Amino acid sequence: MNDATQDEGLDADSASRPATAVVVGGGLAGITAALALADAGVRVTLLEGRPRLGGLAFSFQRDALTVDNGQHVYLRCCTAYRWFLGRVDGADLAPLQARLDVPVLDAGAKPGRRLGRIGRTALPVPLHLARSLATYPHLSLAERAKVGRAALALKRLDLADPALDTQSFGGWLAAHGQSERAIEALWDLVGVATLNAVAGDASLGLAAMVFKTGLLSAPGAADIGWARVPLGELHDRLARKALDSAGVRTEVRTRVTSISRPGPIHQDGSISPHENGRWRVQVPGETLDADAVVLAVPQREAHDLLPEGALDAPERLLDIGTVPILNIHVVYDRKVLSRPFFAALGSPVQWVFDRTEASGLKEGQYLALSQSVAQDEIDEPVSALRERYLPELERLLPRARDAAVQDFFVTRERTATFAPAPGVGRLRPGARTEAPGLYLAGAWTATGWPATMESAVRSGVSAADAALDALGRPRDHLVELFEEAA
Ligand SMILES: Cc1cc2nc3c(=O)[nH]c(=O)nc-3n(C[C@H](O)[C@H](O)[C@H](O)COP(=O)(O)OP(=O)(O)OC[C@H]3O[C@@H](n4cnc5c(N)ncnc54)[C@H](O)[C@@H]3O)c2cc1C
């Protein structure tokens, strides 16, 4: 048996040995919790079942191409993820746009009206979006005016009101005069990509959070950032380096099989005094004991690993649905797109990113199509997807018509995000459990954010904060963390 830090002597007076923690799960939530705990002087062991860190945001090799499992973007308002990038020394590798600029191509529009832009000026909120809305060609004048009025009504919603989570965003938009076209060409364009749900399936609470924070909190809040290197460079290699320098012991290919009290538990239910408050984590071939455990795994795995009594209603975790995201990868023999990315309307294509440089491709162009809400396509054969998407790309990008396709493949994430459905708020637990010393983290926990990198990092901070509080350790660095990035 090992202490989490390989310290000898479980019998030692707990005050005389350093506090120890085990973090289970090496996604962004777990990495963050491990760093935040280590930064406060806790001896941390991070255990990840897969051969790499990064969880749902990772890269793999396909011959000479380094491929991301899914295109990831973040916004300037994602202060926690921006702190994470800085903490792993990766901020320069995933820069933000100087100013929000999203080209929106409508495949169905007449020539000359095909390209619109969602952008912002430096004016104060909400005027920063006024010019963009006034010139957005994919909506009529009346629709644009109604969008403006709905945005102002959205801004007035109180995010702390739990009733918002019981309503659907689609219902609210319809009640505020939004046409089907306005929902498709504007609200869903943003909402599908950020929430992984169409408006009709999304909680008003989560949607209002995204639109208020992203578009209506500060002029630059929605400026978009994305990695110019493979995600694995940030979330695996650099994260690993930061963890090593913080003194965290990181073990990959190490799947946790159980979490329990180290016992013995006496007949009256009490635990030996020196064991009280400690936890035992089992992995194949090793047992680790620690003062605190952060369980930073997906909700289903958390449900299976949580000891009895740790949550009042653990079965609620199983009621949190999941939604898939599909990525379609196309390598052309020449350049067919001259922008870093665009969003599409009037086509099954949603968002298209140029991944050429990040992937290491030397000739031609590599495009990744990010397809959210992919329930209907996630299990379709590659051949069917190829038949559907290549002609669509030719419709959107005339230069693709003369180009040869050198590679076409797909990546499928069946449980990419939790479903942000109305009512999901009451299913998401906070960081603290009923079991002292055992904490939850993960994008799916109660951060107030949809399933994003931001939510994952925030959850890791919250779990570390709760653990440090219980351990009587300094927590000031966690408060400063968000301020630094802001
Ligand atoms: C295709 C795709 C596109 C996305 N696009 C975006 C985007 O553009 N912007 C954005 O912000 N977010 C995006 N997301 C969401 C984002 O990736 C996730 O919300 C975030 O990475 C989740 O991090 P996490 O640490 O909470 O969970 P996870 O990444 O799921 O990490 C949990 C980790 O726990 C490990 N684990 C599980 N069980 C055990 C066990 N028993 N023992 C040890 N380890 C275990 C898993 O292997 C995993 O590494 C996207 C997700 C996908 C899949």
5 pLDDT more than 50: no
**Which pLDDT score is estimated for 417?**
98
| Low-confidence winner among 32-36, 126-130, 167-171 (lowest mean pLDDT) | 126-130
Give the whole-angstrom CA distance, residue 239 versus residue 245. 10
199 within some domain: yes
**Which pLDDT score is estimated for 1?**
53
For tokens 């219902």, the residue is 171
113 within some domain: no
The three-state DSSP-derived secondary structure of 41-70 is: CCEEEEECCCCCCCCCCCEEEECCEEEECC
Domain end, chosen from 178, 193, 219, is at 219
**Which pLDDT score is estimated for 301?**
98
Same domain for 80 and 215, yes or no, is no
pLDDT digits (tens, 9 = 90+) for 194-239: 999 999 999 999 999 999 999 999 999 999 999 999 999 999 999 9
Query: What are the CA-CA distances from residue 336 to residues 201, 243, 353 (Å)?
Result: 35, 40, 12
d(CA 151, ligand 1 centre) in Å: 31
- pLDDT confidence bin for 274, thresholds 50/70/90: low
Task: State the closest ligand 1 atom to the C-alpha of 255, by its place in the atom list counted from 1.
Answer: 42
**Which pLDDT score is estimated for 139?**
96
- For residue 381, what are the contacts with CB-CB under 8 A and spacing of at least 6? none
Number of domains in the chain: 3
* Strand segments (E) across 291-340: 292-295, 322-332
d(CA 43, ligand 1 centre) in Å: 24
Which residues constitute the domain of residue 78? 61-95+321-418
Q: Strand 101-106 to strand 341-345: parallel, antiparallel, or no bridges (unpaired)?
A: parallel
Q: By alpha-carbon position, which residue is closest to atom 34 of ligand 1?
A: 25
386 within some domain: yes
**What whole-number percentage of the chain has pLDDT above 90?**
88
Same domain for 308 and 264, yes or no, is yes
Same domain for 302 and 436, yes or no, is yes
Q: Please name the helix (run of DSSP H) or strand (run of DSSP E) that holds residue 227, with its range, or none.
A: none
105 within some domain: no
What's the mean per-residue pLDDT of the chain?
93
**Which pLDDT score is estimated for 92?**
98
108 pLDDT more than 90: no
102 within some domain: no
**Which pLDDT score is estimated for 483?**
58
Same domain for 139 and 49, yes or no, is no
- pLDDT confidence bin for 3, thresholds 50/70/90: low
**Which pLDDT score is estimated for 433?**
97
Same domain for 444 and 308, yes or no, is yes
Query: What are the CA-CA distances from residue 29 to residues 48, 212, 298, 312, 451 (Å)?
Result: 12, 24, 10, 23, 11
Q: Which amino acid is residue 318, in one-letter code?
A: L
Pocket test for ligand 1, best of 77, 297, 306 (most atoms within 8 A of CB): 297
**Which pLDDT score is estimated for 477?**
81
**What whole-number percentage of the chain has pLDDT above 70?**
92
Give the whole-angstrom CA distance, residue 107 versus residue 345. 6
Q: Please name the helix (run of DSSP H) or strand (run of DSSP E) that holds residue 357, with its range, or none.
A: helix 356-359
d(CA 83, ligand 1 centre) in Å: 18
| CB of 325 shorter than 6 A to ligand 1 | yes
Six-digit token pair at 400? Answer: 């693709």
Domain end, chosen from 219, 252, 278, is at 219
Q: By alpha-carbon position, which residue is closest to atom 53 of ligand 1?
A: 416
pLDDT digits (tens, 9 = 90+) for 244-257: 999 999 999 999 99
Same domain for 346 and 412, yes or no, is yes
Instruction: Reduce the DSSP state of residue 403 to 3 states and report it.
Output: coil
Same domain for 325 and 397, yes or no, is yes
d(CA 95, ligand 1 centre) in Å: 21
155 within some domain: yes
Query: What are the CA-CA distances from residue 106 to residues 118, 292, 346 (Å)?
Result: 13, 52, 6
Bridge partners for 251 per DSSP? 47
Query: What are the CA-CA distances from residue 24 to residues 96, 205, 282, 408, 474 (Å)?
Result: 31, 30, 11, 35, 22
Same domain for 235 and 292, yes or no, is yes
- For residue 212, what are the contacts with CB-CB under 8 A and spacing of at least 6? 154, 155, 157, 159
22 pLDDT more than 60: yes
Is the distance from CB of 274 to CB of 262 less than 8 angstroms? no
Same domain for 294 and 261, yes or no, is yes
CATH number where 410 lies: 3.90.660.10
- pLDDT confidence bin for 16, thresholds 50/70/90: low
Average pLDDT of 393-415? 97
Is the distance from CB of 18 to CB of 43 less than 8 angstroms? yes
Same domain for 372 and 237, yes or no, is no
CATH number where 41 lies: 3.50.50.60
Same domain for 388 and 454, yes or no, is no
459 within some domain: yes
Same domain for 238 and 273, yes or no, is yes
* Between residues 484 and 375, the one the model is more confident about: 375
- For residue 43, what are the contacts with CB-CB under 8 A and spacing of at least 6? 4, 5, 7, 18, 19, 20, 21, 247
224 within some domain: no
pLDDT digits (tens, 9 = 90+) for 405-426: 999 999 999 999 999 999 999 9
Average pLDDT of 445-451? 97
3-state percent helix, strand, coil for the chain, nearest multiple of 5: 35, 20, 40
**Which pLDDT score is estimated for 15?**
54
Domain end, chosen from 219, 243, 260, is at 219
**Which pLDDT score is estimated for 10?**
39
pLDDT digits (tens, 9 = 90+) for 294-339: 999 999 999 999 999 999 999 999 999 999 999 999 999 999 999 9
Pocket test for ligand 1, best of 235, 452, 459, 461 (most atoms within 8 A of CB): 452
Six-digit token pair at 320? Answer: 């949190």
Average pLDDT of 72-94? 97
